[in-house]
Structure 1
């Protein structure tokens, strides 16, 4: 029989149930729950966050040391105790000293060989100090003449001497160093300590020689004389004469 136009067609959204079969209820979606492994990871993350927060709090209170860079450089001092090698009494009065600076330009090369192959040139700025002193240990028996009645003293002293220049390595430095190709290869297989010592020694010798012509001896002589005159005047002597022998 034909369907009436007023009757709606059966829906096709749900399939027909076969005869004799129990109707099946539509599946209801269950609530999604995280697995055991996911819950474990979340728990570990929370614990780790609490530990990090606690460490930062203790560090802020200066309980823990700084750990910004766990791979930062560390300096370990394994030096041995200082060994006293000698001790001596000094009998000299350092009356003056001078600080000098010298530029050492030293070049080593081979004849008839290009400089780019065999050549060594170093430009070194050396700074050193020279002391001028009077050695009282060399005084003879008649070097001191004292007249207690007249309150006079006569002193005869040896001339001032100069020490060897002492380089100040904190103020000495290499400005430039040029080496040829073969020289650079050779330096890679042997120590360069001897050549450095030669530059230091040359700077030391030049400063020592320059100090002799600088008037440092005259300054030391004047300072020594003033020091002795002031000392004996305070002791009650009215006349103090200080003379220096000729070198």
Structure 2
């Protein structure tokens, strides 16, 4: 059989002998995911060795990271006065909990080392095994979380939650009054 111009008389086959996933636990959620943001950050991290020229030791890495952050409202924290029905049964007063940000979800398929410059010693160390990229993912996750905090994501989640609850309750025939915390 010919495969892309190569002769492979025995072919090759990939067999997956992995065990099926096992459900370890289930928990009930009371969160409304009201908004999501997609973010990208470029990290420029340099590790210098004091008094040694960069050509001999040290490294500089440009790492492109992509990820998303969800903003949610946890209705499990809704207090007794969070949803109050008026005495005439026509109006509902809402006190909605403030939205929160989830931990960033890194998109590993879109995150990568764009460029890396290493000194001779670091190049030799890299021959011994693949470089550890975990530190780049940890730093990128922190940068993505900070970008989400600085964005309008929480405001958007608050607005979307208010619109969703108001629409739902109005469809049930109630007048809705939203009270801020």
Question: TM-score under structure 1 normalisation?
Answer: 0.67
1:227 to 164, 168, 171: 164
SS at match of 1:122: strand
How many angstroms apart in 1 are the aligned matches of 2:164 and 2:73?
12
Who is 1:101 aligned against? 40
Task: Say whether residues 1:141 and 2:80 are aligned partners.
Answer: yes
SS in 2 for 1:99: strand
Q: How does 1:34-183 map to 2 (within 5 A)?
A: 67-68=1-2, 69-147=8-86, 149-183=88-122
Shift in CA distance, 174/72, structure 1 to aligned 2, threshold 3 Å: farther
Of stretches 171-180 and 226-235 in structure 1, the one that deviates more from structure 2 is 171-180
Q: Structure 2 CA distance, aligned partners of 1:188 and 1:154?
A: 65
Between the aligned partners of 1:168 and 1:240, the Cα distance in structure 2 is: 39
Task: Please list, as runs of the form range in 1=range in 2, the aligned pairs for 1:201-220 lying within 5 A after superposition.
Answer: 201-220=138-157
Structure 1 runs of 4+ with >4 Å offset: none
Q: Using the alignment, how far apart are the partners of 1:104 and 1:154 within structure 2?
A: 46
Q: Which residue of 2 aligns with 1:35?
A: none
Instruction: For residues 117-151 of structure 1, give each alpha carbon's deviation from its aligned partner in whole angstroms, at most 9, with x where no partner exists.
Output: 11111111100101111010011112110126341
Deviation at 1:103, TM superposition (A): 0.2
Counterpart for residue 137 of structure 2: 200
Per the normalisation by structure 2, the TM-score is 0.90
State the number of aligned residues.
176
Residue ranges of structure 1 left out of the alignment (5+ in a row): 1-66
Residue by residue over 1:157-214, the C-alpha shift from the partner in whole angstroms, topping out at 9 and shown as x without a partner, is 2111011211101111111112211112223335633xx1110011111111011111
Greater share of strand: 2
Q: Is the 8 A contact 1:128 1:165 kept in 2?
A: yes
The higher radius of gyration belongs to: 1
CA RMSD of aligned residues (A): 1.7
Q: Which moved more, 1:217-226 or 1:138-147?
A: 138-147
